[in-house]
Structure 1
Amino acid sequence: MSWTRRGEGASPPEQALEAILARIPGWADAPLRYRPVSGGISNTNWRVQAGSGAGDEAGADVFLKVPGRGTEMFITRAAAHEASRRAEACGFGVAVLDYLPEDGVEIFAFLESFRASSNLDFLRPGVRHNAVRALRAFNDSPALTLTKTIFDMIEEHVRQVDTVGGRVPQDTAFLMRRYGEAKAALLASGLDLVPCMNDTLAGNFMLDAADQVRLVDFEYASNNERAYELALWFDEMAFPADVEREMIEAYWGRWDVGVAARTQVLKALGDLKWATWAMIQDSVSTLDFDYYKYGTWKLSRARTLFHHPDWPRWLRLL
């Protein structure tokens, strides 16, 4: 993909980026060039290089994301920045170079030797186990300022769908009844609140040639139920049952029927959360992404677990 020099941006996203670049200390008059980075479904992502004018020596590249329209409805940028710093301190994040609170923009070192992973990468046991170690390190770090549980997220999104006039499924009453059952059972069992990414899709795990893992994108991070982190990851990876068991053992040090049941219940809630989020984005986002299709797929998976014959047993095992 070709570079665009500052001052040559023509599209609205490019012009928005250039306005932000002009406000970065030390970059007001520096020669810069940039190009988009694919993969985001909430923001526009950019690779920026300083010192790219005639006769200038190119500097180190940085990664910068511009918040997408409507993301302030569910992202607290200061909290995301705190979580990014925490991940860096854990040894599994990326160096945070700067933060522009007025724009909600974080600037990171660009990981030259790393690439975004795909679901296929997690077919390799080494990648899976390295990812579990990274997640566990972040989960075991000191508490974040923001606590936002999976219940908070779902209930917030339900209100927001109503506010923006988003589409709702015909079986909403059933879905929310199952949600209520899960919430009551999980709260009765007690929550283990720890720092969680809350967004464990494959693209948020960066890999190098040795399969070392770095975690990126902490926009949705908060203190949340510990078991939700793996549950959501299992949702995203679509692991078969034997791999889920392997990863539970790797994370917890043993396989436990109660943890396994908790994971299944939280997988359903994770899909319900992101399906509801997608209906909000379907109404407000300007990005070229089929949020409705994404949300429909998530709802289908949630229904599979909500209708599962073991649902009552899982709730009892919590």
Structure 2
Amino acid sequence: MTSVDQAGPPTDVPAPAAAEPDGTDAPDTADALRRAVRSVPGWEDREFAATPVFGGLQNSNWLVRFDDEDQRYFVKVPGAGTESFIDRGNAHTAGELAARAGISPRIIDFQPETGVEIVEFLEGHRACTNGDMKSWDVARAVTGLFRTFHGVGALPVTKTVFDMIDEHLEQVRDLAVVLPANTSVLLREARAARAALEASGLDIVPCHNDPMPGNFLTCPDGPMKLIDFEFSSNNERAYDLALILAEFFYDEPRSMACIEEFYGAAAWDVVSRVRVCVALADVKWGLWGCVNQQLNDSWDYDYHKYGTWKLARARAVMADPRWPQWLAAL
């Protein structure tokens, strides 16, 4: 998720041996990169060097450098099958809005026909790790980025967590995906959560929807930046915070501190809303993982194992004695 999808660019990349990627290891992606760079106005005849950026599991990521300038560029070439669940136009708009708000790198070029995106490479920044997220200062910076993004203006796509779950269930049926035996119990509780949240009214804002550590770029001399808007949509505000708590494995004291930082107070109804969304997040990403195993067998990642684990964790949240109380508080 990007991510599982993108771990973020490294800060030190060795100079490549050739002026352009020779495509020996991956001719399709190297050719796609070459075409993408040559399609940018003013870049048609410029000599460039390209180095693969490792860590992305679904896209092919590259660092591009021209002989005649110091600025380097990060190029994302979408992987096969990702169009099944990513609206590239929406992701581009989200990235543009975030860049204007000062929380994301500047976008240099976007190619709608292929989904290729080229952004400025932020020198001195590096992708965060799970270790970074143990720091309270980092946690505060992450919640601050999300609060800013929630105010950038509506995105082209509105897709709530419930829409995402429905979409994945349709893919499960279409692709004949095998789910864990207890998934029916999770879906029953997810339907109960949906009824409770919709009855209370959804707080719809632009959401990032994918706070993996690699999607946050940290720098010792500047503010943290947010990247990778492939899963962004207008969604329930609490869902973004819930993902932070889930993906960074925060314990109860840290989770309560994040809720208070995010909302200004940790009232019971707010805590309940976030806790319910934590379970829904694991249902969504659990289904996503199981589906992705069927979409492309060339990805070097055990998505089914990932999805099964997410679903198991959702079951643990729903088995918490407070689960009925959280639902009732909504």
Q: Provide the residue aligned with 1:36 in structure 2.
A: 52
Matched, 1:254 2:265: yes
Instruction: State the identity as a percent.
Output: 41
SS of residue in 2 equivalent to 1:30: coil
Alignment of 1:1-318 (within 5 A): 2=14, 3=16, 4-6=18-20, 8-10=22-24, 11=26, 12-51=28-67, 57-210=68-221, 212-285=223-296, 286-318=298-330
Q: CA RMSD in A?
A: 1.5
Contact 1:127 1:212 in 2 (8 A): no
| 4+ aligned runs moved over 4 Å, structure 1 | none
Q: Provide the residue aligned with 1:54 in structure 2.
A: none
Q: CA deviation at 1:58?
A: 4.4
| Counterpart Cα distance in 2 of 1:125 and 1:7 | 41
| Counterpart Cα distance in 1 of 2:129 and 2:140 | 15
Contact 1:127 1:211 in 2 (8 A): no
| Counterpart Cα distance in 2 of 1:231 and 1:294 | 18
| Counterpart Cα distance in 1 of 2:55 and 2:275 | 28
Match of 2:20, as an amino acid? R
SS of residue in 2 equivalent to 1:106: strand
Deviation sequence 1:251-279 (CA, Å, 0-9, x none): 11111111111111111111111111111
Q: CA deviation at 1:225?
A: 0.2
When structure 1 is superposed on structure 2, of 29-38 and 192-201 the one drifting more is 29-38
Q: CA deviation at 1:45?
A: 1.2
Deviation sequence 1:118-158 (CA, Å, 0-9, x none): 11112211111111111101012221121110000010011
| Counterpart Cα distance in 2 of 1:307 and 1:42 | 33
Contact 2:126 2:219 in 1 (8 A): yes
Q: CA deviation at 1:162?
A: 1.9
Contact 2:125 2:219 in 1 (8 A): yes
| Counterpart Cα distance in 1 of 2:277 and 2:255 | 13
The alpha-carbon distance between structure 1 residues 237 and 211, as it changes in their structure 2 partners (threshold 3 A), is: farther
Contact 2:21 2:49 in 1 (8 A): no
Q: CA deviation at 1:211?
A: 6.7
Q: CA deviation at 1:23?
A: 2.3
| Counterpart Cα distance in 2 of 1:106 and 1:190 | 35
Deviation sequence 1:92-139 (CA, Å, 0-9, x none): 111111111111111100011110001111221111111111110101
SS of residue in 2 equivalent to 1:212: strand
| Counterpart Cα distance in 2 of 1:118 and 1:65 | 20
SS of residue in 2 equivalent to 1:5: coil
Q: CA deviation at 1:202?
A: 0.8
Match of 2:231, as an amino acid? Y
Deviation sequence 1:22-48 (CA, Å, 0-9, x none): 322222222111112122232121111
| Counterpart Cα distance in 2 of 1:67 and 1:161 | 22
In structure 2, stretches of 5+ residues that fail to align are: 1-12
| Counterpart Cα distance in 2 of 1:241 and 1:211 | 30
Contact 2:57 2:301 in 1 (8 A): yes
SS of residue in 1 equivalent to 2:76: strand
Match of 1:5, as an amino acid? A
Contact 1:62 1:107 in 2 (8 A): yes
Deviation sequence 1:26-74 (CA, Å, 0-9, x none): 22222111112122232121111122xxxxx344110111111111111
The count of residues paired between Structure 1 and Structure 2 equals 313
When structure 1 is superposed on structure 2, of 70-79 and 162-171 the one drifting more is 162-171
